[in-house]
Structure 1
Amino acid sequence: MDRPTALVPRRYVTIGGRGPEDVVADAHGRVLTGVEDGRILRIDGLAEPTEAARVEVLADTGGRPLGLELLPDDGLVVCDAEHGLLRVDLADGTVRILADSVAGERLRFCSNVVALPDGSVCFTVSSRRHPLEHWIGDLVEHTATGRLLRLAPGSETPEVLLDGLQFANGLALSADGSFLIVAETSAYRLTRYWLTGPRTGHGEPFVENLPGMPDNLWRGTPDGPTWVALAGPRVPPLDLLHRTAPAVRRAAARVAVRAPFRPTGTIGVLAVDDTGTVVHHLARRHSRFRMVTSVCESGGRLILGSMWERGVAVCEPPVPR
């Protein structure tokens, strides 16, 4: 992988809530996000450097919204870490549960979601052992209990497409709709799941050995790349721990969830095309804005979200190659 170019911030915008974990841009360039207290926010004016951004509350899930997916009918699908898979009507803020269990097991830690052209919804569950507030425990324990699920139109019961994923996280659809890209955070890789063709229903490595932990994915247009947020750099001691016995990892996880956590100042984002080629890699050390969990494009800028911060970062786009 080529050396990264500089990730250049232009401004940081507070939004009146903590932890805008996922950011997605709508057709008007406005950015939607969910924050820690359950609210879904819409932010306008981020690309206008001389104007204050305008923040509007669209809905409240009553839980912890994470991944978001805009629908063409003015709806929003939300992965809520406490309540499962939700649909929000953006016109009136109504929240409806689409699914809250799978095979009799409560859905917890839903992470990211994408809608398919046939009306079905695919989404990830990061862990079946650790809830969101203990996310670091799953990264340490390396449970491989992440899942990729699909909810068919009109159904309330998701089906499991892939199991045994290492902290399943971001999700994106290929330009031609033939496969999904799934981020496996603690494996430093992107996985491809085939929706059509001779390998339909199979998963395989897509991009491996990433320079950091991939989090949410975002694709703005079918002909554009898939953007990958890197929530943190690689951690060599963690890689060594992953090679130890399960009992050792479980003990380390119990310690990790009780220890104070502070993210590093090293942040980064990638863009990959549908052949698995990295077309952009931007990074910054000693950043004031930490733990980048999402990235999208809006108004000719990159917008960064964070599980840690109280706002979003507006950055320069990459130089075209």
Structure 2
Amino acid sequence: MKPLFAYSVSFFLVIIFIAPTLTLSVTIDHHLENYNQMELPSAVGPESIAFDCDGKGPYVGVSDGRILKWHGTHLGWKEFAIVSANRDRELCDGSTKLENEPKCGRPLGLKFNPATCDLYIADAYFGLLMVEPHGGVAKQLATSAEGVPFRFTNALDIDTKTGVVYFTDSSIVFQRRVWLLVILSGDKTGRLMKYDPRTKEVSVLLNGLAFPNGVALSKDNSYLVLAESGKFRILRFWLRGSKNKSYSSEVFAQLRRSPDNIKRTRKGEFWVGLNSGREIINNLGRHIINLQNENLSLRLIKDPVATKFDKDGKVVDVLDGNGGNAFDSVSEVEEFNGKLWIGSSVKPYLGIVKL
């Protein structure tokens, strides 16, 4: 088997020559003078961000299987929840090793249900979980759908009226610790699913997806948008509407970078994290970046690391990374309380940009 870095090189060369370009209708750059970082204790990778029913937080899931809560400048980050009662603290606490993830857990998608204030968690290894408002050990809700086990539970959102949870399983073949193989193998076994808390049943809404990732419901819950990372696009999946629309899908937006998590704003727009992998591209050398510029007209001064779309799929805002190290890997952008809270699957901090 090739070493992982060899796969990384091949993957990003593919991106360089085949990734489609993104046509911007509006570009609003958020510059680094408005940027700050909240360092994490020991662990890394605040993949997803959540605020509770009282607006407190942020809460983040990190590499060692814990959910951390921010308690303010004086107290800092404190443990809020863990994903399994069998988690070995000696092995797991502070771990950043991929090989420990199946034992420790890797919480990815996070979302509080505003009706119950319970926190729902999509953990890559332990499936769909829920923890009560006071925290503690998460309860496992589902580990399979239609007889097929989850292998890479990834992201979720919650219907505020019904409590139904919509979530993704990025592959039924590969786990998160070998996530790159999902892309390189051309795997299309990913699924979009829903969990009904009343019946406790899981049903599959879409299958045959290429690395389904972030998911977010529209403001009126009539549709959801879904990141299909393997195809550099966002799909719209209709949940309600006219007879010919309900439970059908269409392309919502085509991108030039791989989309990750999606978060809806209060206004009903969608922030999409673009997990660009610029750090690996930069390590390959300037000559590759020059080829990228020549073939895609991608200028580093136009370095989109997150994009906000309106309800019609039009770009209304762009977070410009300016080619800097701070935004090498952006997994999620949560717009809350006048700030952009920026997650990453690999960084040891949470980014903040004041609007």
TM-score (norm 2): 0.74
Name stretches of at least 5 consecutive residues in structure 2 with no aligned partner.
1-22, 85-104, 282-302
Alpha-carbon shift at residue 24 of structure 1 (Å): 2.3
Q: Can you list the C-alpha shifts for 1:251-299, whole angstroms capped at 9, x where unaligned?
A: xxxxxxxxxxxxxxx6611111111111111221132342111111233
Tell me if the contact between 2:226 and 2:234 (Cα under 8 Å) persists in the aligned partners. yes
Q: Kindly indicate whether residue 50 of structure 2 is the aligned counterpart of residue 6 of structure 1.
A: no
2:48 aligned with 1:18: no
Secondary structure (helix, strand or coil) at the match of 1:136 reads helix
Give 1:53 shift.
Answer: 7.4
Q: Does 1:296 align with 2:334?
A: yes
Give the drift of 1:195: 0.6
Aligned with 1:77: secondary structure? strand
Question: How large is the Cα RMSD of the aligned pairs?
Answer: 2.0
Partner deviation per Cα, 1:169-210 (whole Å, 9 max, x = no partner): 1011111211010011121111011111121111111112x1
- The change in CA–CA distance for 1:288 and 1:175 in structure 2 (over 3 A counts) is closer
Does the 8 Å contact 1:128/1:145 carry over to 2? Answer: yes
TM score, norm. by length of structure 1: 0.82
Q: Going by fraction, where is helix more abundant, 1 or 2?
A: 2
Match of 1:269 among 299, 302, 306: 306
Does structure 2 retain, via aligned residues, the 8 Å contact 1:267–1:291? no
For 2:64, what is the secondary structure of its paired residue? Answer: coil
Q: Does 1:286 align with 2:332?
A: no
Counterparts of 2:155 and 2:62 in 1: how far apart (Å)?
15
Structure 1 position 105, deviation (Å)? 1.9
Letter in 2 for 1:58: F
* Secondary structure, counterpart of 1:279 in structure 2: strand
Q: Give a deviation string over 1:6-42, Cα, whole Å, max 9, x none.
A: 3434212112121111112344252111001111111
Tell me the secondary structure at the aligned position of residue 350 of structure 2.
strand
Please state whether the residue corresponding to 1:228 is helix, strand or coil. strand
Deviation at 1:107, TM superposition (A): 1.3
1:175/1:274 contact within 8 Å kept:
no
Amino acid at match of 2:305: G
Question: Does the 8 A contact of 2:305 with 2:327 survive in 1?
Answer: no
Partner of residue 165, structure 2: 121
What is the CA–CA distance in structure 2 between the aligned matches of 1:193 and 1:219, rounded to whole Å?
15
Unaligned 5+ residue runs, structure 1? 46-50, 238-265
In structure 2, distance between residues paired with 1:12 and 1:92: 25
> Which position in structure 2 is the counterpart of 1:170?
214
Instruction: Tell me if 1:141 matches 2:185.
Output: yes
Q: Which amino acid aligns with 2:326?
A: R
Distance 2:305 2:75 in 1: 24
Query: 1:309, 1:132 → 2: CA distance?
Result: 17
Cα 1:288–1:197 change in 2 (3 A) is closer
Larger strand share, 1 or 2:
1
Moved over 3 A (4+): 3-7
The one-letter code sitting in structure 2 at the alignment partner of 1:22 is: S
C-alpha contact 1:170 1:215 (8 A) present in aligned 2? yes
